[in-house]
Amino acid sequence: MFQYIVKRILLVIPVLFGVSILVFGIMHLSPGDPAILMLGEGAPEAELEALRARLGLNEPLHVQYGMWVGRVLQGDLGRSIRSNRLVAAEIASRLPATIELAVLATLISVAIGIPIGVLSATRPNSLLDNATMVAALGGLAMPVFWQALMMILIFSLWLGWFPSSGRLGGWEYYVLPTLTLGTSSIAAITRMTRSTMLETIRQDYVRTAHSKGVAERRVIYRHALRNALIPVVTVIGLQFGSLLAGAVLTETIFNWPGIGRLAVDAIRAQDFPVVQGVILVFAIAYALVNLLVDLTYAALDPRLRVRYG
C-alpha cells in the first residue's frame, strides 16, 4: 500500500513540471512589455532598462524559467504589476472564497447526484428514469454563463428571492453561485451513478444476495452501491477540479471575490505574474485532487490493497 501511495505521489511531479513549462511559455510569448506595464508608457528608457535587468527580462527564456522555478519553490510567485502586492498574498486572500464555493457545489452535487442515480438505476426505463436522464443531459449541455444569467433574471430580478452578487451577508448569497457551479456536476454524477449501478446490480453476487432473501434496500445500499462508487469517485474528483477552473465564469458573473475573478482582472490588466500564479495554483489543486482520488481508490477497492500489499 505504501508503494502505491509513493508511486502516485511521484507521478504528480512530472505533471506539475509540464504545467509550469506551459504556463511560463504561454505568458512570456504573449504581447506586452512588463517593464512598460509597471512603469507606464512615458517612463524613461533608462528606468525601463534598469527594471528589465532587475527582473531578469533580458536573460534568455530558459534562464528566466529557471529563475522563476527557483523562486516558486521558495514560495515567491513575484509581485503583481497592477497592485505591487505579493502574488502569493493576493492569491491567499482570494483562495478561501473559491474553495468555499467549489466545496459547497461538490457537496450538493454528491448529495443530489448519487441518490438520484441509484433511484434511476433501480427503476430502469420508468418515467422517473427517463425524466432524470433528460434533466441530466440538459444540465450537461447548458452553458454556465447562460444558466447564471437566467438564474439572476428569474430568482433575483423577477422573484427577488436571492441576491444577484456578493458573498458576505448570509446564506442566501451562496445559493445562486453554488447551484450554477454545481449543475453540470450533479448531471455528471447522476449519469455515472446510474450507469455503474445498472452494471453492478446485474452481477452474480447481487443475484445471489436476492436469491438468499436479503432485503432489497440492503442489497442495493450495502453491497451494490459500494462497488459502483469506485468510478463515481473518479468523476467526483474530476468534477471538483473542473469546479475550481469553472469558478472563473461563475465568480465573474456573481461578483464573487475568488481567484477566478482575480485571474480575469489580471488578464485584463496584462498582470502576468498573477495569471501565472493563479494557473499554477489551479494545476496544483487539480493534481492534489486526483492524488486524493487515487488514494480513495485504494480504500474502496480491495484488489489494489492486495496487489500492493
Structure confidence at residue 120 (pLDDT): 92
Structure confidence at residue 306 (pLDDT): 64
Q: Is residue 227 part of a domain?
A: yes
Q: Is residue 126 part of a domain?
A: yes
Q: Residue 181 maps to which CATH number?
A: 1.10.3720.10
Number of domains in the chain: 2
Q: How many CA atoms lie within 13 A of 140 on its CB side?
A: 13
Q: Is residue 108 part of a domain?
A: yes
Element (H, E) at 296: helix 272-300
- Verify that 47 and 146 share a domain, yes or no: no
Q: Which residues of the chain have pLDDT under 50?
A: none
Structure confidence at residue 309 (pLDDT): 57
- Verify that 55 and 113 share a domain, yes or no: no
Spell 194-231 as b/e; 16+ CB within 10 A means b.
bbbbbebbeeeebeebeeeeeeeeebbeebbbebbbbe
- Verify that 68 and 96 share a domain, yes or no: no
- Verify that 51 and 109 share a domain, yes or no: no
Can you give the residue range of the structural domain that contains 211?
91-307
Q: Is residue 83 part of a domain?
A: no
- Verify that 121 and 233 share a domain, yes or no: yes
- Verify that 200 and 238 share a domain, yes or no: yes
Q: What is the DSSP string of 256-282?
A: --SHHHHHHHHHHTT-HHHHHHHHHHH
Structure confidence at residue 304 (pLDDT): 64
Structure confidence at residue 114 (pLDDT): 92
- Of 13, 43, 74, the residue that ends a domain is 74
